[in-house]
Amino acid sequence: MRIAIVSDFHLGYERFREDAYLQARDAFGKAYSMSDMMIMPGDIFDYRHPKPDVIAEAITLFSELSKKDFSAHMVSFEGKGSAYTEKPIIVIPGTHERRSDTAVDPVDLLGLAGIVVNVNRACAIIEKGSERVAVFGIGGVAEERFKETIAELAFRPVEGAFNIFMFHQSLYELLPFNKEFLHIEELPEGFDLYVDGHIHNKVESKCHGKPFLIPGSTVLTQLKEGEQEDKGFFIFDTEKMTYSFHPINSRKFVMLKIDVSGQDPSKAEEEINSRIKSTISSNGSAKPVIRIELKGRMKEGFKASDLNISKMPASYPEAIVEIARTNVDDASSAREIADLRQGLLENVPIKDYGMALFLDRLKASNYSMKISPSKLFEILSSDSKKDTAISKAVEELFS
Ligand SMILES: [Mn+2]
């Protein structure tokens, strides 16, 4: 079967409300034409209490989709709630729709309307000919509750089916800043494909030796570096065990990092203007978003507030420009240190950084040995003598 994986539409997202709708619609149309079934790992809405006109947008999108002729259909549903359609449009709520366990969230509404199958804490089996796909879902929960939720539900893969584990959480390997995040290896074993939402840029990785995919959002929200890539969705082919990424029409985002070190304000402004102009001319499409992050220490005697940039965005109606000067250093290095203290670094133990780096390197070298990467890291950091730690690790790996 060909499975489309589309995520994080954020319908109702105020800043790019129309984009959220149009880009989700483009994704639905393209993904439908290339697939037998569709799965969507959360954050359909941007709010847990969307306004009626946003609910109307969602109903319009999903009604149009559910009227289409899918080549696969749902044959069984087990778990929390009920399914009111056989169309293989399988969803879970994300963190943005999360309400208390007993309350009805907006994704429940779409399920009740019979235009999606909500597999939050449930499993749906989809069939096409003799082939079966089982989708197990856990909607977004507080990070510290994810582990216990997995244990509580104790999902068991269906024999003879292609099994998918779909959820909506952070994972430590992707965001190594919080001890509460689950490690990728702690996800339940035995599934053929792991699908996560929540992260707004595309991620392709492995979990227990099987593909682990995050399609990213269909709309710009965070304006982080990773969002400069194309928005889109995955198509996973269960027969070939291959997948591909397909871009949608979406607003372009460009981040420019400009170092103003040693410059006076007029020189710096000149450079900012010229970078904006060249970015606009190379992005002919609908109003790109250009975010400029300034950094560095300006010429002696000048400070960040001397930069005359507040009116600059308004002079580029063909783009959406925002400029951040928080990283421009005034004069003393005391400021730099204060920024560091306030910054993200504060709460990240050095060991966690080490672990993140280590996992990256292992991933890059296609590490596939029997000891889990985190265990290997523990062994390597268990002895202050480098040689002793390495021989312990070698012994574990090759014994
Ligand atoms: Mn999201």
Tokens of 181: 């995040």
| Residues 203-232, mean pLDDT to the nearest whole number | 94
| Residues 157-169, mean pLDDT to the nearest whole number | 98
Share of the chain above pLDDT 70, in %: 93
pLDDT at site 373: 81
Q: Specify burial of residue 327 (Cβ count, 10 A radius: 0-12, 13-18, 19+).
A: middle
Alpha-carbon span 379 to 46, nearest angstrom: 43
Mean pLDDT value across the chain: 91
The mean-pLDDT minimum among 19-28, 87-96, 340-349 falls in 340-349
Residue 245 Cα to ligand 1 midpoint, Å, equals 19
The 10s digit of each residue's pLDDT in 51-90 is 999 999 999 999 999 999 999 999 999 999 999 999 999 9
CATH number of 2-247: 3.60.21.10
Alpha-carbon span 208 to 188, nearest angstrom: 9
| Residues 328-350, mean pLDDT to the nearest whole number | 57
Residue 233 Cα to ligand 1 midpoint, Å, equals 14
pLDDT for residue 172 is more than 60: yes
pLDDT band at 346 (very low <50, low <70, confident <90, very high): very low
pLDDT at site 100: 84
Chain center to CA of 399: 39
Residue 197 Cα to ligand 1 midpoint, Å, equals 7
The 10s digit of each residue's pLDDT in 190-202 is 999 999 999 999 9
Tokens 């606009």 belong to 280
Residue 201 Cα to ligand 1 midpoint, Å, equals 10
Residue 224 Cα to ligand 1 midpoint, Å, equals 13
Count of C-beta atoms within a 10 Å radius of residue 311: 7
Domain with CATH 3.60.21.10 in the chain: 2-247
- Looking at the chain, which runs of residues are DSSP E strands? 2-5, 37-40, 73-79, 89-91, 117-118, 122-128, 131-138, 162-167, 193-196, 203-207, 210-214, 232-237, 242-247, 253-259, 289-297, 320-329
Count of C-beta atoms within a 10 Å radius of residue 131: 15
Alpha-carbon span 40 to 118, nearest angstrom: 10
pLDDT at site 338: 58
User: Roughly how many angstroms between the first and final C-alpha of the chain, as a whole number?
Assistant: 41
pLDDT at site 355: 77
The mean-pLDDT minimum among 139-153, 301-315, 327-341 falls in 327-341
Residue 371 Cα to ligand 1 midpoint, Å, equals 33
Alpha-carbon span 78 to 98, nearest angstrom: 21
User: Is the distance from CB of 322 to CB of 292 less than 8 angstroms?
Assistant: yes
Task: Name the residue with higher pLDDT: 372 or 22.
Answer: 22
